[in-house]
Amino acid sequence: MVETSAARLVPGQRFEIWVSQSGRAMRVNRLSVHLVCKEEASYRQGTSTRTETETVLDALQAERTEFSVGMGKPEELSATVTLPADAMHSFSAEHNKIVWKLRVQGDIERWPDFDREFPLRVAARTQGD
């Protein structure tokens, strides 16, 4: 489970994130949270449409290693995140897209690793921001 302290995010803003990992009794080798921004561009090449994706930002925000999770006892991880002041806001057009997300990755003993993404909506700055 992932929560943020603000629903409306703008470049330069600080906000809190909270991650809760629960499950059956298990040993977790690593749990990490990254702030990720990707740019997607689609274009025609001959008769095909191609989409290129570039990771603009992938910044580790929080990490915990070597801990156990038990029934009814989730492990929690929190951090303060600051969006870059010069960051582009989220948007989606016909041929271009800017996507922001939190990526939670886990390495759990005797279980498959996981990599989950939680979308963020970054608004354009206004005069009041």
pLDDT in tens, 75-100: 788 999 999 999 999 999 999 999 99
Tokens representing residue 17 in the block = 């994130």
Tokens representing residue 76 in the block = 């929690």
The predicted-structure confidence for 11-30, as pLDDT tens digits, reads as follows: 999 999 999 887 777 788 89
Residue 69 near residue 25, CB atoms below 8 Å: yes
Tokens representing residue 28 in the block = 């977790």
Q: Name 44's bridge partners.
A: 49
pLDDT at 35 over 70: yes
Residue with tokens 């886990």: 106
Domains, the chain: 2-36+57-85+102-120 (2.60.40)
Tokens representing residue 115 in the block = 């990599």
**How many angstroms separate the CA atoms of 78 and 61, rounded?**
9
The predicted-structure confidence for 97-129, as pLDDT tens digits, reads as follows: 999 999 999 998 888 889 999 999 999 987 665
At 58, the amino acid letter reads D
